């Protein structure tokens, strides 16, 4: 894939993981079981969230500021249920990440202070093509490259992108033929052979992930009513990750060059 990091599959639980995502609940869908396993193995888990999701709740009677307070509270409750107490916000505005100043220096500081073995975020497609997700992918990739080049991370640190595998997509389309994988656009699908970390929760881990998801009540109540609890919580059960390609990391270097960092 790329000379910037090893290409072998992840075969053990990382000692530390840091996830960077756009909105409260992204982290639970994509990394809850990964974080849980890391913590249970005695490791550390850090969450970085770009926004407080202030435009992503079906409550027209509430202001964006009120929604932000609710969703931050939901996120902190979700992470408490998981056991993650290192929660950080980048204080960006929901829906405006692509137009905001990239917080690369802030991310580099977080990487330097936590020194995570594994960094996880969206791929350049953002899973759902959401512009905030795409921006967060660019920021995190650029920050990881800068931190590595400055010797702020260990040599074995790895950056992985959350992704949709062929197996995941096939199962989804078989089980939910009338329901899109995401509401904002079809994600890029990664060949199973290119998945380097594939996490399928045990029954007990899945029960915890469901409890964590349910803490994001503004986000889950509607879909649960539409799909039913069992179908909804089974939807994003698996967590799969791939490595960045050389071209994707070159693009991230381009972001840094454009910013003069």
Distance, CA of 119 to CA of 141 (rounded, Å): 9
Model pLDDT, residue 66: 95
Task: Count structural domains, the chain.
Answer: 1
HSE value, Cβ hemisphere, 13 Å, CA-based, for 18 = 23
Question: Does residue 10 fall inside a structural domain?
Answer: no
pLDDT tens, the chain, 261 aa long: 455 665 678 988 999 999 999 999 999 999 999 999 999 999 999 999 999 999 987 778 899 999 999 999 999 999 999 999 999 999 999 999 999 999 999 999 999 999 999 999 999 999 988 999 999 999 999 999 999 999 999 989 999 999 999 998 888 788 777 777 666 667 789 999 999 999 999 999 999 999 999 999 999 988 888 778 887 778 789 999 999 999 999 999 876 555 555
Domain assignment present for 6: no
* Predicted local confidence at residue 195, as pLDDT: 97
Q: Are 175 and 195 in contact (CB under 8 A)?
A: no
Those residues whose C-beta lies under 8 Å from the C-beta of residue 235, and which sit 6 or more positions away, are: 172, 176, 227
pLDDT score for 44 = 98
Indicate whether 161 belongs to any domain: yes
Q: How far apart are CA 100 and CA 75, in angstroms?
A: 23
Alpha-carbon span 157 to 6, nearest angstrom? 9
Query: What pLDDT, on a 0 to 100 scale, did the predictor assign at position 157?
Result: 96
Q: How far apart are CA 196 and CA 151, in angstroms?
A: 25
Domain that holds residue 201: 16-251
Asked if the structure places residue 257 within a domain, the reply is no
CATH number of the domain encompassing residue 93: 3.40.50.10320
How many CA atoms lie less than 13 Å away from 14 in the CB half-sphere? 28
Question: Is 215 domain-assigned?
Answer: yes
> How many residues appear in the chain?
261
In-domain check, residue 256: no
pLDDT in the model for residue 256: 55
Neighbours of 110 (CB within 10 A): 21
Q: Is residue 9 part of a domain?
A: no
């Amino acid at each position: 894939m790329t000379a910037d990091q090893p290409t072998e599959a992840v075969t053990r639980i990382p000692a530390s993981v840091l996830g960077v995502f756009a909105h409260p609940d992204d982290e639970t869908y994509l990394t809850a079981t990964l974080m849980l396993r890391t913590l249970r193995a005695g490791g550390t888990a850090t969450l970085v969230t770009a926004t407080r999701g202030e435009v992503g709740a079906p409550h027209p009677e509430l202001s964006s500021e009120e929604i932000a307070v609710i969703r931050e509270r939901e996120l902190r409750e979700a992470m408490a249920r998981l056991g993650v107490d290192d929660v950080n916000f980048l204080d960006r505005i929901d829906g405006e990440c692509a137009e905001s100043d990239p917080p690369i220096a802030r991310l580099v500081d977080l990487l330097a202070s936590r020194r995570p073995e594994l960094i996880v975020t969206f791929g350049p497609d953002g899973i759902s093509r959401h512009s905030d997700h795409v921006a967060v992918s660019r920021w995190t990739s650029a920050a990881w490259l800068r931190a590595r080049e400055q010797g702020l991370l260990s040599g074995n640190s790895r950056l992985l992108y959350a992704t949709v595998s062929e197996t995941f997509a096939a199962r989804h389309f078989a089980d939910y033929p009338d329901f899109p994988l995401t509401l904002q656009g079809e994600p890029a699908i990664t060949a199973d052979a290119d998945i380097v970390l594939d996490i399928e929760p045990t029954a007990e881990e899945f029960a915890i992930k469901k409890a964590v998801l349910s803490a994001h009540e503004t986000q889950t109540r509607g879909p649960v009513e539409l799909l039913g609890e069992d179908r909804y919580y089974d939807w994003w059960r698996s967590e799969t990750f791939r490595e960045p390609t050389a071209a994707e990391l070159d693009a991230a270097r381009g972001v840094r060059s454009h910013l003069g960092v």
